[in-house]
Structure formats: C-alpha cells, structure tokens
Structure 1
C-alpha cells in the first residue's frame, strides 16, 4: 500500500492519540469538508455504547460539520457501526483502516 498523504497521516495520529488517552482497543478520526478534524475512542457504558468512529462522527456533526472527506479507523473492523453513519452523511468519504500501530491495512 502506498504511504499515506500528510493529511491522512494526521488522522492516524489523532486516532491513535484518542485510543491511548482512553486506554481503548480502537480509535478513530475524521476530517470534515472544511478540513477540521475530530477524534474519538469507544464509549462502553451500560446506558450508552458507541464505537470510536461513531464518537468521531457524532462529535463532528454536533460541531456543525456538513460532511466528511476522510476517516481513519485504528484497530476497528469492517463491521464498525460508525461506517454506516459516515456513509449516510458522506458516501464517498475515504475510509482508511489501520492496525494498532497505525499501519494501513490492505483494502
């Protein structure tokens, strides 16, 4: 796989940072249509359960994002519920899956 461009590499860094701060098994970050970035880690409460990507998408949308250019999912799977949320808002957004070290996985 080709190296990530600097803007996508920034998303990987943000996602890994969110994952580390929350001591979580995954992390995610998104870039909106204006170039703003948002990161998230999973939430696992009895009353609320969200994947890292759901958190990042919800944070962006609640901050006024109209759509997304790209998303990075670190340590998450192809069944992540956040992918459906991302596709609902921006079906053409680029999604990059990485391993826990932030290395892109083959599509």
Structure 2
C-alpha cells in the first residue's frame, strides 16, 4: 500500500506528509519557524513524521480489526492501539508546544 499520511502543527507553521513508514515526502516549514533553533525545528519535524506514520498505522489497525483480524496479530504487526497513538500525539505536543499539533 502506498498511502501517504499527514500531520501538522495547529497553526500550520509545520506540516509533513510521510509514507506509511514515516519517511517524509513533503515538508512545509513556515519562514517564521526558521527563527527558532534549527535542532528544535528538526526535532519537531521528526515528531510530526512519527505522528503521521502512527496515525496512519492506527487507521490501518482499525480497518484490519473491523475485518476480523485478532488483536494479537495487530500487535505483532506493530500497529499502534489508541494508547500508542496518544503517546505519539503527546510526544509531538511536547516538541511543538508553542504551535500545538494535529
């Protein structure tokens, strides 16, 4: 499956589109973000990539669960459950706290 997934800061100053594996294929960084420490901007982008990958994997988990795939198989595939997705959201929130993330 070649699905792309997206995550962005609340204000849209940072946004990423990733592959299902979390590799960025498109990154938007508003010019104002470049005034911040570039290591922080990079960490924010990485956190958003992880969130984009995780939210896509969570949606895939829901699709497979709906079709009857047992939870232990979904876990073995590494697809996050709701708690796993929340952990990724919290990590992105910590890095992007001045922007917020979703």
Higher-helix-fraction structure: 2
Q: Which has the larger radius of gyration?
A: 2
- Structure 1 length-normalised TM: 0.29
Q: Which has the higher contact order (CA 8 A, sep 6+)?
A: 2
